[in-house]
């Protein structure tokens, strides 16, 4: 098996991620074009909702061929607005119009998770009548 096609070890993955996190911000963000978006964002097929949002700063192209192989892998992004513990008896009394008060105030940051791993915090925003988040803290797992 060619070296470029062999699976990465956990140590190699950790080293690549460390190198990426240490280099964040070391290169300038992509320059926005006339529409206000970076060319990388447009090339990636940005949606109309993303076009209305402020330009996204693309840190830099990924040049390591081992990391290039992982860029197309799907991940799940989740944002938790709040939670509430309650007995089943209460849940059985719910119906249309029931309001549930969560354990988080509207102005407090919300956790942002990628594949279940918390990587940052964000504030909730509205973008063209859709909920969105604006990252306020990003980095290593918490």
Q: Find tokens 């892998």 and name the residue.
A: 73
Provide CB contacts within 8 A for 141, sequence distance 6+.
117, 118, 119
Residue range(s) occupied by CATH 2.30.330.10 in the chain: 74-142
For residues 88 and 65, is the Cβ–Cβ distance under 8 A?
no
Residue 112: the pLDDT is 94
Torsions phi, psi of 127, nearest 5? -130, 110
Residue 45: the pLDDT is 36
Rounded CA gap, 120 and 117, in Å? Answer: 9
Q: Find tokens 């942002």 and name the residue.
A: 112
Residue 119: the pLDDT is 92
Mean pLDDT per 10-residue run, the chain (142 residues)? Answer: 65 71 46 40 37 51 77 90 92 94 90 93 92 89 66
pTM above 0.75, yes or no: no
Q: Which two tokens stand for residue 31?
A: 């320059």
CATH class, domain 74-142, is: mainly beta
Residue 56: the pLDDT is 53
């Amino acid at each position: 098996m060619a070296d470029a096609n062999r699976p990465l070890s956990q140590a190699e993955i950790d080293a690549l991620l460390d190198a990426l996190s240490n280099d964040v911000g070391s290169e300038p963000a992509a320059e926005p074009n006339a529409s206000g978006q970076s060319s990388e964002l447009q090339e990636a097929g940005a949606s109309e909702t993303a076009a209305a949002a402020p330009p996204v700063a693309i840190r830099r192209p990924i040049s390591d061929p081992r990391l290039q192989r992982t860029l197309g892998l799907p991940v799940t992004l989740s944002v938790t607005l709040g939670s509430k513990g309650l007995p089943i008896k209460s849940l059985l009394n719910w119906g249309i119009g029931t309001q549930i008060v969560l354990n988080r105030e509207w102005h407090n940051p919300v956790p942002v998770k990628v594949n279940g791993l918390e990587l940052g915090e964000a504030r909730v925003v509205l973008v063209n009548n859709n909920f969105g988040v604006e990252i306020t803290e990003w980095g290593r797992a918490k």
